[in-house]
Structure 1
Amino acid sequence: MIVGLTGGIGSGKTTVLNFFKAFQNISVYIADEEAKNLMNSSPLLKSQLINAFGKELFVDNTLQRAYLSNLVFKDPKKLQILNEIVHPQVAKHFSEFVALNAHKAYILYENAILFETQNNQFCDCILTVSAPLEDRISRIIHRDQTTRRAVLDRMQHQFPEEKKRLQSNYLIQNTSLPALKEEVYRIHNILTL
């Protein structure tokens, strides 16, 4: 079984993910981390990215994430190009991961843009993490040392939270750590019955 985990930027997905990682009978796939790893390690992806965005994208053979973010989050066409290059490779990698982990109770597939990339269609169940908007903005400003405007720009590229909620099997409200942990354990117990 594939369980999708998503939520808007700053909602607390990483915290929820870390609670899930404690369970030994599941496997966890973090789409964003795997995409970064692939962009840094795949010669094919590197070549395609350099052709699309220029040699400045890699310094000392390492992806310059801030540079890439500045390019794509200001230009929807460039974001689309990035997605068309990276997402098929991540999807292929994920398929291989699923095959290797088929013996687990379920695979938790964390993807911030699960619906936007239509990867929700591969999930048997979807969990969405939710938090108040101002809390989310504050977390991202603090975490990324960025501006409110930059956070709002990034949020603009994600589905509205209401749309995610309507398509989810479980909504995890991030209001306090103890309640969050309790909800993760409750959902895990349901999924492993």
Structure 2
Amino acid sequence: MVVGLTGGIGSGKTTVLNIFSNFNNVAIYQADIEAKKLMSNSLEIKKELINEFGADAYINNKLNRSFIAGIVFKDAAKLKTLNSIVHPAVEKHFKAFILSNNTKDYILYENAILFENGSDRFCDKIITVTAPEKTRINRVVKRDNTTEIAVKNRIKNQWKEEKKILQSHYIINNISLIETQEIAIRIHNILTNNQVYV
């Protein structure tokens, strides 16, 4: 079983992911981390990104994330192009991950843009993490040492929370850590038929 984990920027997906990582019968796949690895290591992706974004896409053979982010979060067409280069490779990698973790009770598939890029089609169940927009903006400004405007630009490229919630099986309103932990454990118990593995 594949369980999608998503939520807007600053909602606290990583906090929720860390709770699920305590269960030894769950395999965790983080799409964003795997995408970054592929963007750094795949010669094919590297070549396509340089063709599309120019030589500055890489510095000393390393992905220049801030340069690419500065382009794609202001230009929806460029973001779409970036996704069309990276997502097929991540999809292929994820399918191999599913096969190699078939003894686990379920795979938790963390993807910030699960709905936006159609990856919800791989999921049997979906968990969406939410928080008030002001809270999310404050978290990201503090975490990334960025500006409120930059965070709002990124939020604009993601689905609205309400739309995600309507298509999700479970919702975690991540404001209080204790409540978030309780809800995550309850969801895990439902997914594993109330067998607790900690």
| TM value normalised by structure 2 | 0.96
Name 2:75's counterpart in structure 1.
Answer: 75
Superposed CA RMSD: 0.5
- Which ranges of structure 2 fall in alignment gaps of 5 or more residues? 194-198
Name 1:2's counterpart in structure 2.
Answer: 2
Are 2:42 and 1:42 equivalent residues in the alignment?
yes
1:138-170: CA deviations, max 9, x gaps?
Answer: 000101111111100000000000000000000
Name 2:160's counterpart in structure 1.
Answer: 160
Residue identity matched to 2:104: K
Aligned identity (percent) is 55
Residue identity matched to 2:141: I
Residue identity matched to 1:61: N
Name 1:55's counterpart in structure 2.
Answer: 55
Name 1:183's counterpart in structure 2.
Answer: 183
State the 1:102 CA deviation.
1.0
Name 1:101's counterpart in structure 2.
Answer: 101
SS of alignment partner, residue 159 of structure 1: coil
1:5-16 matches, within 5 Å, as 5-16=5-16
| TM value normalised by structure 1 | 0.99
Deviating runs (4+, > 4 A) in structure 1?
none
State the 1:61 CA deviation.
1.0
- Which ranges of structure 1 fall in alignment gaps of 5 or more residues? none
Residue identity matched to 1:25: N
Are 2:25 and 1:25 equivalent residues in the alignment?
yes
- Aligned pairs, number: 193
State the 1:103 CA deviation.
1.0
SS of alignment partner, residue 149 of structure 2: helix
Aligned-partner Cα distance in 1 for 2:94–2:53: 25
Aligned-partner Cα distance in 1 for 2:59–2:20: 35
SS of alignment partner, residue 94 of structure 1: helix
Aligned-partner Cα distance in 2 for 1:166–1:8: 14
SS of alignment partner, residue 109 of structure 2: strand
